[in-house]
Structure 1
């Protein structure tokens, strides 16, 4: 028997309003029980609860909504609904609400995922053996290859992004972000001595064409959940940056932060990376190729653009920290990661 939850909690969600809304959508009735806030990699609010012998997770934007918060959650509702007809491991959508009069924000309910975040801990028995951790690395690529094979038009996502000119837009877009915060008070400017070299190489070697598909947009070990009983992906999570573009950018992002070799941690300082025993980048690429129809001949370009993009995003947080708008320790840590990413970009280019 669960513990009844008060209609309004300190979790910024009126559970009484949620209960009333669920009644209108024919979901199992009863009290909302055992409500608890869940942590995650974003400031979006997530609350787990049960009602009528069924468990749910509610997801909405942060308590203080940003200009795009409701749009982002609305897009997540659309995407998760579309993925229900595919083999992509993802949280199953139960129902979504775009009427902001209900909670003051767009929200949706999804089924809980039975899994764990290997960036934080390795509780499953198979993680104790190198073979198990090696299989976990391959599973990351298996799930990604499955996503990359989704026919987004058949799934009803024809209008979910702007794939035309997608790759050509990448370098100007992220250089524009750098220019936007380069004048931030207290920010000394970007430290990347190879910035122009990397940007120029990317523009000269940009792939001429690609087959559009679903792009997660932030694919790495902290944004998947592993099954507790076997080294497989139970769900890909945090879809807020998803769009229609070139899915190989997700593979490039994974390779950009991956361990450089045995005994080396990954760039996320994840629990799995620290434990070691992971496949090499070459093994990940070969595994992806086994089940993907995509041309991987330009995979170095995708790895370099991922380093470029993520490095500039992280440097933006450092600029904000210099201005006192973000914690200094976080800014310094991400600044260090950004420098490493540009170093990796240079190394990838040198080996091309």
Structure 2
């Protein structure tokens, strides 16, 4: 679980402690305060009170337009997942009736592989191989959750039909940013047309994470087990196979950077054994994931061209977009 750099002195722990008292949580002074660092725009802080460790998650001090609503969604999701087999942080208490919205959860005993591998994972390719399969198994478990646990959550009707128009519209909106030269993305039109022609006729709605990749997973320190899936703000009721496509779209190819990982076909085979969903169009979901994620990342490049984001970050993400569309072409034309 990660968060941007923050100054913990900006959090009013006296006010937080008073609220915790109303929730019947252990009292006493707040100690051992430390930010949980990384890449998400939400704030996360670890602290101890009354001998109990907590993670506080709240919007940034300058929240985005939908920061508070996103955290309300996360709270609903974590509540719904509490009694399932899905590895997720355990929600302790939440304040959702005011702003800023925030919640407390138990710390996860684990590590994020995006920040590096500890031992024994670093030196044991068998553990790394199993990590990939465990990530797939955790995703399949999420796909089995009854979406009725979250009534009124998401808009599954027409979910697949909306995808290409929705994201082509998003891409077109970047044209309003001064300095953006337009989407110079080889394969863009071909990918969009292919997705429309090959769209599955139907799907079974289910709970999906919305941003399922290894950067949003924490693994147990003593083995390959997924300790928790984190960052649930994109969660919705849609087609869970898009989560699997997202994992495939972001998966290191040919063991690059992390030798020993299972390849894409092993991931698909593992998921297939654990689901009764129709897997015949799984390449379509992987291509859609490349298409959608590539357009999302192109947005940062467009903002960088307009001077609203760092140029080096924009250039890096634009290259990632090109790589994603190149990967999509390989699925389209094997």
TM range (shorter): over 0.9
SS of the residue 1:333 aligns to: helix
Instruction: Give 1:280's match in structure 2, choosing from 254, 260, 263.
Output: 263
| Counterpart position of 1:270 | none
Determine the C-alpha separation between the residues in 2 that align with 1:117 and 1:207: 34
Determine the C-alpha separation between the residues in 2 that align with 1:41 and 1:158: 31
Determine the C-alpha separation between the residues in 2 that align with 1:293 and 1:95: 35
Does the Cα contact within 8 Å between 2:287 and 2:328 map onto a contact in 1?
yes
| Counterpart position of 2:66 | 68
Does the Cα contact within 8 Å between 2:8 and 2:33 map onto a contact in 1?
no
**RMSD across aligned positions (CA):** 1.1
Give the alignment of 1:86-105 within 5 angstroms: 86-100=84-98, 104-105=99-100
Instruction: Report deviation, 1:11.
Output: 4.5
Does the Cα contact within 8 Å between 2:8 and 2:45 map onto a contact in 1?
no
Structure 2: tracts of 5 or more residues without a match: 1-6
Instruction: Report deviation, 1:53.
Output: 1.4
Q: How many residues are paired up?
A: 328
Does the Cα contact within 8 Å between 1:149 and 1:293 map onto a contact in 2?
no
| Counterpart position of 1:298 | 281
Q: Which stretch shifts more, 287-296 or 242-251? A: 287-296
Does the Cα contact within 8 Å between 1:32 and 1:49 map onto a contact in 2?
yes
**1:158-202 C-alpha deviation (Å, 9 max, x unpaired):** 211110000110000100100100232111111113211110110
SS of the residue 1:136 aligns to: helix
For the pair 1:23 / 2:21, whether they are aligned, the reply is: yes
SS of the residue 2:34 aligns to: strand
Instruction: Report deviation, 1:41.
Output: 2.4
| Counterpart position of 1:117 | 112
Instruction: Give 1:194's match in structure 2, choosing from 187, 190, 211.
Output: 187
SS of the residue 1:119 aligns to: helix
| Counterpart position of 1:3 | none
Instruction: Give 1:343's match in structure 2, choosing from 309, 326, 329.
Output: 326
For the pair 1:150 / 2:148, whether they are aligned, the reply is: no
**1:97-143 C-alpha deviation (Å, 9 max, x unpaired):** 0133xxx4000000000000111110131331111111111111011
SS of the residue 2:41 aligns to: coil
Structure 1: tracts of 5 or more residues without a match: 1-8, 266-273
Q: Which runs of 4+ in 1 moved over 4 A?
A: none
Give the alignment of 1:214-225 within 5 angstroms: 214-225=207-218
| Counterpart position of 1:248 | 241
Instruction: Give 1:134's match in structure 2, choosing from 129, 138, 152.
Output: 129
